[in-house]
Amino acid sequence: MTSLGRFYLIAILVFLYTPILVMMAMGFNASPLYELPFSFSTQWYEALWSNTVLLKSGMNSIIIATITAVLATTLGTMASVALSRRTFRGKSLLQLMLLPPIAIPWLITGTAMLIFFYWSGIGRGMHALLIGHVALAIPYVVLVVGTGFKTIRADLEEAAMSLGSTPVHAFFSVTLPLLYPSILGAALFAFAVSLDQFVISYFLSTPGYTTLPVQIYSSIRKGFTPEINAISTVLLLGSMTVILIFARFAKPGDTSDKR
């Protein structure tokens, strides 16, 4: 890599991570108005533990994101199996229809979901949030797991069946273990999409049940406090820990021979 390339890469990393580092640092600043000079204090983390509204909305986000990751990964993986291993009429159209939910602005999607849920009687609340988040996450899961399928040789299952294995047993004993890193990566992706989702949550949440992004937005309108920095730092460190654990054990992209 040339010196210019290194400089360009470093500049991008600085541009991406500097705001995050500043946000984390200001969570330890004693001033409620982010005044300088910096004075180290943990008072905003102490105040966070007594902020039941912010903590409740954060827990709501984690619960919804976890359920979304499980449901979206299960449904998306099954769809990927059908699209990758089966041939049927309309397959190309279904694969093409996976792209619009990703490309369409979430504002339009949220408006459409709100109108449809009211028209169908589903309404708003946790159940509506789960439906909306799962619907948004499934296309990402299908694309990630589908990419994983392309790295797996289809004749491995055929070889297993030629030795007496059933198609179901061959899939679970041969293909699924090889697909595990892609499935885990898709689950983390679905979790992140749900945890970060604001527009859909804003349209489908109720005053008594809201998620952290919506609560942060409401708090900023009333007056920004470093407690938001504190809970954002906690979630950020938690997410980074999960990703690092995944990278350590799943080793995505490692195609070396482990024999």
**Is 204 in contact with 113 (CB distance < 8 Å)?**
yes
Cα 219 → chain centroid: 23
Same domain for 36 and 135, yes or no, is no
pLDDT in tens, 110-149: 888 889 888 888 888 888 899 999 998 998 899 888 888 8
Q: Is there a domain that residue 48 lies in?
A: no
Same domain for 170 and 149, yes or no, is yes
Q: Please name the residue that has the structure tokens 């009687």.
A: 121
What is residue 251's predicted lDDT score, i.e. its pLDDT? 54
Total of domains in the chain = 2
**Best-predicted range by mean pLDDT among 30-34, 39-43, 72-76, 190-194?**
72-76
Same domain for 103 and 225, yes or no, is yes
Same domain for 80 and 161, yes or no, is yes
Q: Is there a domain that residue 179 lies in?
A: yes
**Is 68 in contact with 194 (CB distance < 8 Å)?**
yes
Same domain for 103 and 222, yes or no, is yes
Same domain for 4 and 60, yes or no, is no
> What is the rounded average pLDDT for all residues in the chain?
81
Q: Is there a domain that residue 221 lies in?
A: yes
Q: Look up the pTM and report it.
A: 0.79
Q: Which domain holds residue 242?
A: 53-250
